[in-house]
Amino acid sequence: MRLNERKTLVALQGLGGKASVEDIAKKSGLAHAAVMRAALTLSAINLVKVHEQQWNVAALNEEGESYAQYGLPERRLLRALLRLGGEVDVNQAAQEAGLDAGLIPIALGWLKKKKWGEIKGKKCSSDLNAEPPLGDDEKLLAKIFEERSIIVDSLGRKLKEVLHVLRRRKLVDLEEKTYRELELTAEGWKTIKKGLKIIDEVTQLTPELIITGRWKSVKLTKFDVTAPGPAVYPGKTHPLQQIIKRAREIFLEMGFTEIRGPFVETAFWNFDALFQPQDHPAREMMDTFYLANPQAGRLPSRRLVEAVAKTHEDGWVTGSKGWRYKWSPEEAKRLVLRTHTTAETIKYLATYKKPPIKVFSVDRVYRNEQVTYKHLAEFHQIEGIVVDKRVTLRDLMGTLKTFYTKFGIEKMEFWPSYFPYTEPSAQAVAYHPKLKRWIELCGMGVFRPEVLAPVRVNCPVLAWGGGLERLAMIELGLDDVRMLYANNLGWLRRMPLCQ
Ligand code: PHE
């Protein structure tokens, strides 16, 4: 038995074996709720019996309380009337009584009804020579005020009628209340007779208890640490942001440096510099968001633009035949919301070409796609390149395997693929255990000479880029990417603080 249960039993014994929860609380010094909790345990082990009874209880409302303190309006009017000589203008009497205008008709009505006075036109009068004693209504009002509430059935027939009048005057509210009484069972008496020691329990181990060594003699309360506590939802980073952060950390761990660029790029960097022909289907309005205002941006150096133009038209010095069409600088100037971060990669290579290079970006890209469970129009790409003298596709696969393994991807494969700017090209795929199918992680490959010659890079460039949200889906076990942007509070709360 815990301390509160023992205290409850002892108090109950002191009250003769049967008492209300209120009385036990008073006697034991425990809170009402603590007695109730103890009562539940004690009745479960059959030491007490809990009797419940519903009662109609009357209590004063705000107006009733004010009348209980200052007197009923008719009483106050009469007092004023007597003070002013027995006959006076109604308004003057009301002013003397300190009555609000709204209370005057009520006061006059009851003055007349109680035969304390008369109303003649604008005047009121009383021929009483002293204040009458308190009526039953006033006495009951005072009693309820003192006791805060009163059980209706505890009143006799006459007082019940008086209560009814107070209710009609809207001074009293009725409420149903449950009263609980506890009674010691035979078992309970036996336990008490055996003797119950009340030793105060200590609920918190303090430095003082430890220093003085008192912890050895006090009784420490036992806590049930398996009892469910309330759920707590602290503020935390959005799961997608956590994954972005993790992607950056992994790249940094692997010795890469971050690069970033603007969301708006010229088609030149987004497409042309990557040897994507100007009539390539990916450029069509279907996939790319073109800017309406301004429509065109600036092209880089003449030398670079001419080299790209020649490569598209006939292959230039690369040994390639090119795409065999008339390259248009106007088309290359068009501004787009970048469709991939490879635009930043190639822009970087146009300036920095001295190996070794290991750079990455984790950034936002845009595509004019119908938003579905697996497509978003605005999403993030993870992108990187490795540039060095003798690197090969094997190094690329090793790098990606390391990167995604650090992310926790277990089952991963490389499948052949195609991109206009890489040869060979491949894609890394991962098995989604929940969807039970393979999903694409990223595109990858070794940049073609048609891409490298114009930017004058003359060693192999291993490149890859892929959607971050796809990775997030696997990480978070989602079957709908839209969840990442839905701000569904329930889902956000259930997400662990750390992935
Ligand atoms: N840019 C490609 C995409 O958006 C990915 C890619 C990057 C492929 C680099 C090969 C090399 O899908």
CATH at residue 121: 1.10.10.10
Same domain, 10 and 95: no
Q: Say how many Å lie between the CA of residue 282 and the centre of ligand 1.
A: 13
Residues 150 and 82 in one domain: no
State whether 190 and 270 are in the same domain: no
Q: Do 399 and 470 sit in the same domain of this protein?
A: yes
**Is 236 domain-assigned?**
no
Cα–Cα distance for residue pair 433/411, rounded to 1 Å: 9
The residue segments making up the domain with residue 126 are 66-132
Atom of ligand 1 nearest to the CA of 341: 1
Residue 235 lies inside a defined structural domain of this protein:
no
- Buried b / exposed e along 74-110 (16+ C-beta atoms within 10 A): bbbbbebbbeeeeebebeebbebbebeeebbebbbeb
Same domain, 201 and 327: no
Establish if 233 belongs to a structural domain. Answer: no
Among 427, 339, 334, 335, CA closest to 377: 339
**pLDDT value for 278:** 95
Domain ends where: 227, 250, 277? 227
Enter the tokens of residue 45. 């082990």
The residues lining ligand 1, judged by C-beta closer than 6 Å to any ligand atom, are: 340, 342, 419, 422, 443-445, 463-465
- Model-wide pTM > 0.75: no
State the distance from the centre of ligand 1 to the C-alpha of 263, rounded, in angstroms: 17
Looking at residue 385, what is its pLDDT?
98
- CATH number of the domain at 260, please: 3.30.930.10
Report phi then psi at 488, rounded to 5. Answer: -75, 110
pLDDT of 499: 64
424 C-beta neighbours (distance < 10 Å), count: 15
pLDDT at position 435 is 76
Q: Are residues 52 and 80 in the same domain?
A: no
Same domain, 269 and 371: yes
* 234 assigned to some structural domain: no
Residue among 452, 464, 468, 470 whose CB has most ligand 1 atoms within 8 A, to mutate: 464
pLDDT at 284: 78
Q: CB-hemisphere CA count at 13 Å for 145?
A: 18
Residue having the nearest C-alpha atom to atom 8 of ligand 1: 443
DSSP 8-state assignment for residue 218: S
Number of domains in the chain: 3
Cα separations in angstroms, 380 against 206, 383, 472, 498: 52, 10, 11, 20
Are both 92 and 145 inside the same structural domain?
no
pLDDT at position 285, please? 65
**Rounded distance between C-alpha atoms, residue 126 and residue 110, angstroms:** 13
- Asked whether residue 56 falls in the same domain as residue 75, the answer is no
Q: Are residues 96 and 215 in the same domain?
A: no
Q: Is 194 inside any structural domain?
A: yes
Ligand 1 atom with the smallest distance to the CA of 339 is: 4
Same domain, residue pair 352 and 489: yes
Q: Specify the ligand 1 atom closest to the Cα of 383.
A: 7
**Residue-level pLDDT at 129:** 85
34 and 167 co-located in one domain: yes
Domain stops at, among 227, 259, 283: 227
Strand ranges for 341-421 from DSSP E? 357-366, 378-387, 412-416
Of 107, 132, 157, the domain-final residue: 132
Cβ neighbours of residue 19 closer than 8 Å, sequence gap 6 or more: 11, 12, 27, 181, 182
Output the tens digit of pLDDT for each of the chain's 499 residues: 888 899 999 999 999 999 999 999 999 999 988 899 999 999 999 999 999 989 899 999 999 999 999 999 999 999 999 999 889 999 999 999 999 888 999 999 999 999 999 998 889 999 888 899 999 999 999 999 999 889 999 999 999 999 999 999 999 999 998 889 999 999 999 999 988 777 777 888 999 999 999 999 988 887 778 767 778 888 999 999 999 999 999 999 999 999 999 999 999 999 999 999 999 887 876 689 999 999 999 999 999 999 999 999 999 999 999 999 999 999 999 999 999 999 999 999 999 999 999 999 999 999 998 999 889 999 999 999 999 999 999 999 999 999 999 998 989 999 999 999 999 999 999 988 777 889 899 999 999 999 999 999 999 999 999 999 989 988 888 889 999 999 998 999 988 887 6
In whole angstroms, how far apart are CA 27 and each of 15, 16, 20, 22, 43?
8, 12, 11, 9, 19
Q: Rounded to the nearest whole angstrom, what is the distance from the C-alpha of residue 401 to the centroid of ligand 1?
A: 17
**499 lies in some domain:** no
Distance (Å) from CA 342 to ligand 1 centroid: 6
Q: What is the pLDDT of residue 58?
A: 94
